Structure 1
Amino acid sequence: MPSTVTSRRRQLGNEIRRARIAAGMTQQDVAELLSCGQGKVNKIESGAVAVKSSDLRRMLDAFEVPESEADVLLDLARSSGGRRSQWSGYRSAVPQWFRTFTDLEPAASEILSYHGERIPGPLQSEHYMLTQFTENRAAEVTSLMRNRLDRKQVFDLERPPYYRFVLGEGAFHRMPGGANASVGLDQVEHLLDLEQRYSRLFVHVLPFGVRLPFVPNDFTIMRFSDGTKDFVFVEHVAGGLYLDDEDDFELFVDAWDRLRGAALERHETVDFLKRWEERFQAELMPPS
């Protein structure tokens, strides 16, 4: 059975437990060190609660963890609960099952994302996302819009992840709510602008006519260079699955390699988008 993704907080808890055991200490010993109950220590080690940096420092000193390793764990603590994410003000609009994804997105070193018939959130233009939320009769359109716009800040980080998308050609035929040249034109122009502005953002279109045995469901692979475990996120109508089992992960990497190998190159995708730009512009021209 696929395992659930190891979040940063869970990973930190595992590291604390390992260091405690290596030091020959019990949870009760740590509880006395921190002047708290043994139950809280258990919750810290299981990832159920965040740990204060000051408490973590006291534990690491007691466990005699080398300074270089301690610094890594302190950074992990700060990013797993010690500070608010850049879009935490709008978390009420984000489903619980998607929050791990949005929390870890800025920390990834590489993100590989496939979407067959829709434009994914980070690439959506404002017109596209507004139409999508309105058509879905969302109750918190303003919060959803702000959250999605804030997610785009991942591209403006000092060192953003390499973010590579493969988009099925169907995503350009199927606009939210049905055929809509105005939405389509805004979206295509937005993609062309992103392509010019961000050197670590790559968009590749998968044409209908490519030779593939099948195309999978939408999925996203996240890789990390800071010790966080790599995982795959598979979204479905009732939520999402986080898979970090190595065999499962490799299956999705193989699927990604097939899709990427069949997709257009970057310059070919730009030409594809410009053709769609012309098509939408023609549809919007008044009849002569």
Structure 2
Amino acid sequence: MRLESQVSSPTVKRRRLSAALRQLRVECGLTAAEAAKQLDWDPSKITRMERDEWKRPAPHDIRGLLDLYGVTDERRREALLTLARESRQRGWWADYQDVFRSSLPDFEAGASMIRSYEALLIPGLLQTAEYTAAVLRGGQVLGEAVIERRVQARLARQQIISREDPPELVIVIDEAALHRMTGGAGVMRAQLEHVIDMATRPNITVQVLPLSVGSHPAMTGGAFLILDFPSPDDPSLVYMETATDDLWLETPEELRRYTLIFSQVQGLALSPDESVHHMAALVDRLER
């Protein structure tokens, strides 16, 4: 497993460290319970580490594992210890832990490509502040201070679009989301104009899935994201959000399934140029 990377996301680095430690343990023929016993650790500690169920990897724990697994190559040891140190850093999104339920923003920050299918809303990475506030007011009873805080967090999350090395965004939006007057005609018109503007960027592709398509492969599962990362050592992830929880999928079969669904809805959607023209026509209609 290669360990060198320019990835800046502490979450992605911790995930890679977890995978590397599991690989080392398997290579030396130990079970997680056997390794924990030799280090006089709780039997579940190594399992949690390898499942990425930890927050701040301790370098002294990593050294103990490397000694146990017989890793003597100094470059390899230092690469793993660097991963441990860097994965302890706070991502920007840590300032919004009261808002974000999961590490999605940090995974987005480390992604090289984000594929998004959205059925009911404009995707979060393309939302205007006014649209986000309207969504929040419609979804639940929240004070204006809480709404403002969540809007700020959403806008901060969008900064990856404008950074020096932005990820590629490929977005399919169900046409139903474009017709829902979230926040009223004025807010919706400005939101559509913003999506059209974003679609002109070289790293952003937006396609509209027209209502005329009828039933389609993504109808039963709802909205989802597929995140791909620059290194083959960081497997892709599927993310879905529910009203009460966040779901992460990463098995090869799950990834194949959602990649296929995305490819199918993308094939049914209007082309990028047709999608821009379609949204522009909706803007004209709202202006009238």
Number of positions where the alignment pairs a residue of Structure 1 with one of Structure 2: 264
TM-aligned CA distance change 1:70 to 1:163, over 3 Å? farther
Provide the residue aligned with 2:176 in structure 1. Answer: 170
Deviation at 1:44, TM superposition (A): 4.0
Look up the equivalent residue of 2:103 and give its one-letter code. T
Distance 1:75 1:183 in 2: 46
Give the secondary structure class of the aligned counterpart of 1:182: helix
Look up the equivalent residue of 2:21 and give its one-letter code. I
Deviation at 1:46, TM superposition (A): 4.9
Unmatched runs of 5 consecutive residues or more in structure 1: 1-5, 32-36, 283-288
Question: Which of these residues, 106, 109, 116, is aligned with residue 103 of structure 1?
Answer: 106
Kept in 1, the 8 Å contact 2:217–2:261? The answer is no
Deviation at 1:53, TM superposition (A): 4.9
Provide the residue aligned with 1:240 in structure 2. Answer: 246
1:50-107 deviations in Å (ceiling 9; x for gaps): 2245764675577436566556645643554x11112211111122xxx132221111
Give matches, 1:13-162, under 5 Å: 13-20=18-25, 22=27, 26-27=35-36, 31=39, 38-39=41-42, 42=46, 44-49=49-54, 50-53=56-59, 56=62, 60=66, 63-64=70-71, 66=73, 69-70=76-77, 73-74=80-81, 76-78=83-85, 80=87, 82-95=88-101, 99-136=102-139, 137-139=141-143, 140-162=146-168
Give matches, 1:179-198, under 5 Å: 180-196=184-200, 198=201
Provide the residue aligned with 2:14 in structure 1. Answer: 9
Distance 1:144 1:176 in 2: 17
TM-aligned CA distance change 1:27 to 1:194, over 3 Å? same
Deviation at 1:277, TM superposition (A): 1.8
TM-score relative to the length of structure 1 = 0.78
Deviation at 1:123, TM superposition (A): 0.8
TM-aligned CA distance change 1:19 to 1:186, over 3 Å? same
Provide the residue aligned with 1:286 in structure 2. Answer: none
Provide the residue aligned with 2:6 in structure 1. Answer: none
Distance 2:157 2:272 in 1: 23
Distance 1:266 1:280 in 2: 21
